[in-house]
Structure 1
Amino acid sequence: MADDDQDIFDSLEREASEFTKVCHLFVLLCDSANAQFQDAEIDRIRKAFSLDSYAVLDLQPGVAEKDIKMQYRKKSLLIHPDKTKNPAAPDAFDRLAKAQTALLDEKQRTYLDECIADARRLLIREHKYNLDSPELKTEEFKVEWRAKTIHVLLEEEARRRRQAKARLQEEGREARKEEEELDARKRKRDNDKAWEESREERIGTWRDFQKGRKPGDEKKKKKKMKVLG
């Protein structure tokens, strides 16, 4: 190989080596940035109020169902436990899945939308706003609305749990009452059986009484008998 050709070859090798280093560094930087982004999203999901599925998925109320599914897919691919070493990823992934399930359930989503609407009405009443008040469009109101929504959801959850507890207590009382009734019926059956089993004995005793004999007379006669001879 001529010297000029060798120089060109060596130069190209150096350029290729430098390019490989730059690419490797770029990949490392991208991985680091992606890991930071993943960690930030995992942290956001875990700090979001769990009863507000919109907050967990980082969505605004009223979005279309396709947007819910699209947002879930994007977020779940980002924080999937197989794609990050963050130990909190499984918990965040589980919360994300539960939030999507809740929003895709018509009954649960309607309940959440009603709580959010109640929070807005309460704030309007407290501040004596009307529906045309410019304050309703401010960021301050949105922040306050979110906080009020949390308050309403907490109150509703507490009420739901009290009702569930009262229902369980009532079911417990009914179960105990039913058990007591079963025990009472069993005792009655046992008493009736014992009474029936002693029927012949009672009849014999009555017959002896009618003949002038008392229970035990036969045994007494046997004891008085002596062996002759």
Structure 2
Amino acid sequence: MADEDRDALDALEKEASEFVKDAEIDRIRKAFQLDAYAVLDLQPGVPESDIKLQYRKKSLLIHPDKTSNPAAPDAFDRLKKAQMTLLDEKARTHLDECIADARRLLIREHKYTLDSPELKTEEFKQEWRRKTVEVLIEEEARRRRQMKARMQEEGREKRKEEEEMEARKRKREEEKAWEETRETRIESWRDWQKGIKKSKEEGEKKKKKKMKVLG
């Protein structure tokens, strides 16, 4: 093969490779983010080994260091997040339950049975995917409402705690001020007592003097 032909073939392969990378990046970014299976292009129920293998293949394909596509970092982050979700037992269980709920809802809506042939059609699978998106959106909305309510409750608890701390602080300051003025209060009381005693003594003297004059 001539050098010119080889160069042309290499150029075509490179172009084809970039096209595949761009297409995968576009697919990932268009996939519904709450559905980690959709992001990784996997079917629910696959073993963990398949999840790891799929992530490795796709991450090598779209890694920002391997392509000049400006959207590669975003797609790579979504891919990584999807893998982490599916490798987290609690998160994957929740996702699987949502997908199963979507299927049950469709069966109930259409009044199918578990043996209905419609469940195996491509049309049902497409409808199932759409229903899964609805269920996941509803679950995410519910989660956010719960988080908001929890944050509001925590805010109320925090304000209550701050008010109690402020009340304790005021009490300590009042007790300190009371203690610091203790000597002053004692002196004032002594002066008051002296004043009363002096007034009584003066009253007694006047009384005796008056009685002496009368006698």
- Normalising by structure 2, report the TM-score: 0.89
- Is 1:187 paired with 2:170? yes
1:131 aligns with 2:90: no
Match of 2:85 in 1: 102
For residues 32-181 of structure 1, the aligned pairs below 5 Å read 32-181=15-164
Offset of residue 184 of structure 1: 0.5
Residue 195 of structure 1 and its aligned partner are, at CA, apart by 1.1
Matched residue type, 2:127 = E
Give the Cα–Cα distance (whole angstroms) in 1 for the partners of residues 186 and 18 of structure 2: 94
In the alignment, structure 1 residue 207 sits paired with structure 2 residue 166 = no
Task: Quote the Cα distance in structure 2 between the aligned partners of 1:47 and 1:26.
Answer: 31
More displaced stretch, 28-37 vs 199-208: 199-208
What SS does the aligned partner of 2:68 have? coil
Structure 2 residue runs without a partner (length 5+): 198-215
Deviations 1:34-70 (A, max 9, x none): 1111111100000000110000000000001111111
Report the AA paired with residue 110 of structure 2.
Answer: H
Cα distance in 2 for residues equivalent to 1:31 and 1:79: 14
Equivalent-residue separation in structure 1 for 2:114 and 2:48 (angstroms): 27
Give the equivalent residue in structure 1 for 2:200.
Answer: none
What amino acid sits opposite 2:150 in the alignment? R
- Tell me how far 1:81 sits from its aligned partner: 1.1
User: Which digits, 9 at most, give the CA deviation of each residue in 1:107-162, with x for residues without a partner?
Assistant: 11101000000000000011111101111000011001001101101110111111
Matches of 2:15 and 2:132, distance apart in 1: 36
Distance in 2, Cα, partners of 1:212 & 1:29: 114
Q: TM-score, normalised by structure 1?
A: 0.83
Computed over aligned residues only, the root mean square deviation of the Cα atoms, in angstroms, reads 1.3
Question: For the residues of structure 2 that align with 1:81 and 1:29, how far apart are their CA atoms?
Answer: 21
Aligned identity (percent) is 75
Q: Which runs of 5+ in 1 are unaligned?
A: 1-15, 215-229
Query: Which string of whole-angstrom CA distances, capped at 9 and with x for unpartnered residues, describes residues 208-227 of structure 1?
Result: 2222269xxxxxxxxxxxxx
Post-superposition, which runs of at least 4 consecutive aligned residues in structure 1 deviate over 4 A?
none
Q: What SS does structure 2 have at the residue aligned with 1:212?
A: helix
* CA distance in structure 2 between the aligned counterparts of 1:68 and 1:174, rounded to whole angstroms: 42
Matched with 2:11 is 28
Distance 1:174 1:125 in 2: 43
